[in-house]
Amino acid sequence: MDSYPAIEDHGLIGDLQTAALVTCDGTVDWFCAPRFDSPSIFAALLDKEKGGFFRIAPHDVRYVTKQLYLPGTPILITRFISADGVAEVTDFMPVTGERAIDAHRLVRLVTMVRGSMRFRVECRPRFDYAREGHQLEAHRHGYVFRSRSATLTFNPVDPVRQLISERGDIRLEGNDLVAYGTLNEGDTGGVVLETAGTQPRIISQEEVQGMFEWTRDYWRRWLDRSRYTGRWREMVERSAITLKLMTYAPTGAMIAAPTAALPELVGGTRNWDYRYTWVRDTSFSVHALLGLGFTEEVSRYIDWLDERIREAGDHRDPLKIMYRVDGSSDLHEEVLDHLEGYRGSRPVRIGNGAADQLQLDIHGEALYAMHLADEQGIRVSHQVWQSTVRLVDWLCNHWDQADAGIWESRHHPRNYTFGRVMSWVALDRAIRLATRTGRPGAIASWSEQRNRIYNQVMDRGFDRNRGTFVQAYGENMLDAALLAMPAVGFVTPNDPLWRSTLNAIERELVSDSLVHRYDPYHSPDGLPGHEGTFNMCTFWYVEALARSGRLDDARLTFEKMFTFSNHLGLYAEEIAATGEQIGNYPQAFSHLALINSALALNDLLDTDANSASHLHRS
């Protein structure tokens, strides 16, 4: 690899236990196994020289590439178009199921559509973030890359001659594999990589076609369960597939992103590992998934969340902000000094030191998700409810303290307004749950604390001099997290206090419809440098505009955001000043916020259209 591809120049494939990124030029430059948070096998995305990659691309041919998904699936097709011919590389991972396994397959098929091309195949794994060496074993029907802790089996697809024509066209460069083959019109070839494999074998066309059809049909059957029929169906469905791809099937937990250490500023230090499950992110996804009709996914996540609530409530501790997909909470942060980072963005971090922060708002997101699920008949057990009561009781005694906030500041703790708002949400939804289900709880005490929070936010979270809600008590900085206040019901969209806040956010945090989380210069977060605009906040802005009755502004802002997605409809975490995508990719927060905005905006547009039609008839 000569240079780093743009973050947005990637497609995502996965099997519901792990995932891989594939560039527009046919390179797998990020792949961890057997889980999302496992050590990498290919990580050229973080170090083009040392990280390792697997590339299939034309050799000595001038070409352009186009990339698309097979409709209704995450099966990725990369097209190579030249004067000599047109070829397609189809990449996918067969779905593994709900039992955690070590063996995962990455299928790469090449089809010559027109003319002929010579291809170069390079497989250069670098195990354990390029910290482990490996040996390459040549077998009769393939190859095995073997390190101390992992293996990767290289299985050719029959007929082998069409992609890797003769033994003379295969070179072993150290312990890496480089091969050449010429394809003519109508020819097909391919490779199936398998983790934790044993003896390599030649895989028949019939078998690989079966893998393809099973994967295609699985995803289309899944997507058929969606009940979304509104505007922007294509973007909503792609976002739903992306969220599903980032869900760990054995537990139902959703990761924030499948990547680690992609920078929020190229060359900067804000490079975090997002391959974990944030209670906040996944809880917000409950609204999106329920809105689309995916109740099974919500039920699986609520089961996972129930276990975390039991652990916290039974120990009378707060929830942790993030966990591994299996529910464990050891996320020790480590710097990989031997990797240069994406385009020189260092340090490269794995693990996440924010895991032990106190962030009060997550209790609101968790109870909000539980409340929404309960409304759809997804109810918790008696034991989980008892733990929930203990957790809510803990919050009653601890909500009035400084914390790290939703943006995980590594500066000193502060009294964040959003943390108080979401603590109010936690108590409010707990009261509603207990009242609706008739389950026991200290409703009088919860109500008293809920009212105290509300009054405190109105007294200390609203700066009367500037006429806005602010990021933290005693300060006058804005925070885009406040855009969620109407959506969670803390304020009404037409409240003058809220309208003045929205206007101030527009003046100070919105740039050409894109929204910054906050101003790190005036509101220090303990880290050097700056960052781009935050996609989730832009989608929150869309919803806030719509709820405030500014439907034309909301729709224009929403559709402007589509111009910042990549060619596949995927979003990273942020948008740089240059317009390119930055941060970990793709980002669950971005896609779930897109869905929630689409649901809310579509309903409000329909209501407005129906009202206009009624007035016209009158």
pLDDT tens for 481-539 read 999 999 999 999 999 999 999 999 999 999 999 999 998 766 666 666 678 999 999 99
Residue of 333, 481, 330, 327 whose CA lies nearest to 404? 481
pLDDT tens-digit profile of 155-173? 999 887 667 654 448 888 8
pLDDT digits (tens, 9 = 90+) for 525-583: 666 667 899 999 999 999 999 999 999 999 999 999 999 999 999 999 999 999 999 99
Averaged pLDDT, 393-405: 96
Query: Residue 544 CA to chain centroid, in angstroms?
Result: 22
How much is the pLDDT for 198?
Answer: 78
Q: What are the E-state strand segments in 353-420? A: none
Give the three-class secondary structure for 159. Answer: coil
Report the pLDDT value the prediction gives residue 232, as an integer from 0 to 100.
Answer: 97
pLDDT at 521: 67
Residues 41/152, Cβ–Cβ less than 8 Å: yes
Give the tens place of pLDDT for each residue, 113-152.
Answer: 999 999 999 999 999 999 999 999 999 899 999 999 999 9
> Residue 417 belongs to what H/E stretch?
helix 417-437
Residues 264-278 have pLDDT tens digits of 999 999 999 999 999
Query: How many CB atoms within 10 Å of residue 606?
Result: 12
CA distance 431 to 436: 8
Are 520 and 530 in contact by the 8 Å Cβ rule? The answer is: yes
Q: Where are the beta strands (DSSP E) in 26-83?
A: 27-32, 40-42, 53-58, 64-69, 76-82
Q: What is the pLDDT of residues 333-392, one digit of tens each?
A: 999 999 999 999 999 999 999 999 999 999 999 999 999 999 999 999 999 999 999 999
Q: How far apart are CA 275 and CA 350, in angstroms?
A: 9
pTM reported for the whole predicted model: 0.96
For residue 313, name the pLDDT band (cuts at 50, 70, 90).
confident
